[in-house]
Amino acid sequence: MNEKILTLLGFAAKSGNLSYGMQATKYSVLGKKAKLVLVSYEISEKSRKEMAFVCDKSAVKCVVLEEFDINTVSAAIGRKCGILSINDNQFASAVLKTLYGGNANDK
């Protein structure tokens, strides 16, 4: 399961369907582009709460990646970051299905 998520994130990055970092992810969520937000467990509690608030306000699912550290995610996407948004329904659904068996439109 771990490898599949990292592979999906790599494909999403190569296809230009990710936003990287707190500011870009916030803009994607508030601009209705983001379909799913992923946050590393290593991010500060304050940043996690802030991103969860923004996502909740915009009805976008926010998932804390408990299994992956920032370095692992960064290696998969080719850029160092601990917060990112997936801006494509198919990639978001595939990641959620791998994680939980759900999809991006489920809350």
**CATH entry 3.40.50.720 includes domain 2-99:** no
Q: DSSP letter string over 59-104?
A: T-EEEEESS--HHHHHHHHTS--SEEEE--HHHHHHHHHHHTS--T
Q: Write the DSSP symbol of residue 37.
A: E
SS3 17: coil
| Count of other CB atoms within 10 angstroms of residue 3 | 9
Indicate whether 76 pLDDT > 80: yes
Q: How confident is the model at residue 10 (pLDDT cuts 50, 70, 90)?
A: very high
Q: Write the DSSP symbol of residue 15.
A: T
pLDDT digits (tens, 9 = 90+) for 17-63: 999 999 999 999 999 999 999 999 999 999 999 999 999 999 999 99
- What residue spans define the domains of the chain? 2-99
